[in-house]
Chains A and B, each alone.
Chain A
Amino acid sequence: MSITERLLFWLGIVVLVIALVGVKADLSKLEQQVQQVSQTASEGGEE
């Protein structure tokens, strides 16, 4: 396997890992928002 090929594979892996970290951060924010929304909804239902 040539160095160029190896480099391309590593580049692909790094790009995917960065994308995964970004999406995971978005997911965490969304999960917090969903929790807030469901809390607000349940508080509204109790009133």
Chain B
Amino acid sequence: MNAKVERAIYIGIIAVLAILLISFGKKEVELKKQIPLTAEELYKKLGNPKITLQIIDVRPYQPSEEEEDEAEEVDYYTLLHIPGSIPLPECDESKAPEDALQQINPYLPTVIVSKDGNPEIFKKCAKKFSIVQNLKGGIEAWDDAGYPEDEGEYEPPAAGGGGGCL
């Protein structure tokens, strides 16, 4: 067989296989979006330094003065949140603190945290991130499971600080 023809055949086979692999990869990302992450799975992932993950909290940031007395902890970011999570209320950049906006990376694997894991809120927010999953049961599930929690205003990680937020 002519060397040029043989080479073209090999390159063709490799190209077809590569295209298939890419399309399977895209399908995998799409399917993962549909499977919510449980609080336990998220906790395990956060404990693994090899996994880079950003947690986006879409609950309102803090209660107003009138709401303060009646506010439940799970309703607001400042009253209770997963350590290291980034506030992005209602997935609206205009409602997020300035420091938090600078930390958001749309290309990192992302977990969306709402009050109760509402799929509608997740769908709205998922469009903004390339690899994204919902936290099943939201912050309520995390709180019920007794995993580490934090409270107060958002503090961006110190420059040069190591990964891992637990």
Contact = CB atoms under 8 A, between A and B. Distances in A.
Interface string B21-33: 1001101100110
B28 A17 contact: no
A24 B27 CA distance: 10
Nearest to B15: A16
B28 A20 contact: no
Contact of B35 (A6, A9, A37): A37
Nearest to A10: B10
A12 B31 CA distance: 28
Given A1-B6, A9-B14, A23 B21 contact: yes
Nearest to A24: B24
B64 to A, nearest CB: 33
Interface in B22-64: 24-25, 27-28, 31-32, 34-36
Secondary structure class of chain B's binding surface, majority of residues? helix
A32 to B, nearest CB: 10
Interface of B: 3, 6-7, 10-11, 13-14, 17-18, 20-21, 24-25, 27-28, 31-32, 34-36, 119
Contacts of B35: 30, 33-34, 37
Contact of A16 (B7, B17, B28, B36): B17
Given A19-B21, A20-B21, A24-B24, A34 B34 contact: yes
